[in-house]
Amino acid sequence: MTKINAVITGVQGYLPEYVLNNEELSRMVDTSDEWIMTRIGIKERHILREKGKGTSDIALEAVTKLLEKTGTSPDEIDFVLCATVTPDMPFPATASIIADKAGIKNAFHYDLNAGCSGFLYALTTATQFIETGRMKKILVIGAEKMSSIVNYTDRQTCPIFGDGAGVILLEPTTENVGVMDMKLQSDGVGRIHLHMKAGGSANPASHETIDAMEHYIYQEGQHVFKWAVSKMADISVEIMERNGITPDTLNWFVPHQANMRIIEATAKRMGIRKEQVMINIEKYGNTTAATLPLCLWEWESQLRKGDNIILASFGAGFTWGALYLKWGYDGK
Cβ atoms within 10 Å, residue 43: 17
- Name the pairing type of β-strands 217-219 and 194-196: antiparallel
Q: Exactly one of 155, 195, 197, 215 binds ligand UT7 (CB under 6 A); which one?
A: 155
In the complex, least distance from residue 201 CB atom to ligand UT7, rounded to whole angstroms: 23
In the complex, least distance from residue 263 CB atom to ligand UT7, rounded to whole angstroms: 10
In the complex, least distance from residue 322 CB atom to ligand UT7, rounded to whole angstroms: 15
Dihedral sign for Cα atoms in the order 249, 252, 84, 22: positive
Q: Exactly one of 4, 31, 100, 306 binds ligand UT7 (CB under 6 A); which one?
A: 31
Q: Exactly one of 7, 40, 99, 277 binds ligand UT7 (CB under 6 A); which one?
A: 40
Q: Exactly one of 16, 142, 159, 293 binds ligand UT7 (CB under 6 A); which one?
A: 159
Please tell me the count of residues contacting ligand UT7 according to CB under 6 A. 19
Q: Identify residues 279-298 at the interface with ligand UT7 (CB under 6 A).
A: 286
Q: Of 116 and 141, which CB lies nearer to ligand UT7 in the complex structure?
A: 116
Q: Does 315 bind ligand UT7 (CB under 6 A)?
A: yes
Residue 295 appears among annotated catalytic residues: no
Q: Exactly one of 129, 225, 253, 324 binds ligand UT7 (CB under 6 A); which one?
A: 225
Instruction: Please identify which of the residues 256, 259, 295, 308 carries the catalytic annotation.
Output: 256
Q: Identify residues 78-97 at the interface with ligand UT7 (CB under 6 A).
A: none
How many residues are there in the chain? 332
Closest-by-Cβ residue to ligand UT7 is 221
Residues 114-133, one symbol each (x = binds ligand UT7 by CB under 6 A, - = not), give --x-----------------
Instruction: Please identify which of the residues 116, 158, 259, 308 carries the catalytic annotation.
Output: 116
The dihedrals phi and psi of 108, each to the nearest 5 degrees, come to -105, 160
Q: Of 82 and 116, which CB lies nearer to ligand UT7 in the complex structure?
A: 116
Residue 158 appears among annotated catalytic residues: no
Q: Exactly one of 4, 19, 37, 39 binds ligand UT7 (CB under 6 A); which one?
A: 39
Q: Does 156 bind ligand UT7 (CB under 6 A)?
A: yes
Residue 116 appears among annotated catalytic residues: yes
Please enumerate in sequence order all residues whose Cβ is within 8 A of that of 253, keeping only pairs 6 or more positions apart, or say none. 236, 266, 267, 270, 272, 276, 277, 278, 309, 310, 312
Q: Where on the chain is the footprint of ligand UT7 (CB under 6 A)?
A: 31, 35, 39-40, 116, 155-156, 159, 221-222, 224-225, 228, 258-259, 262, 286, 314-315
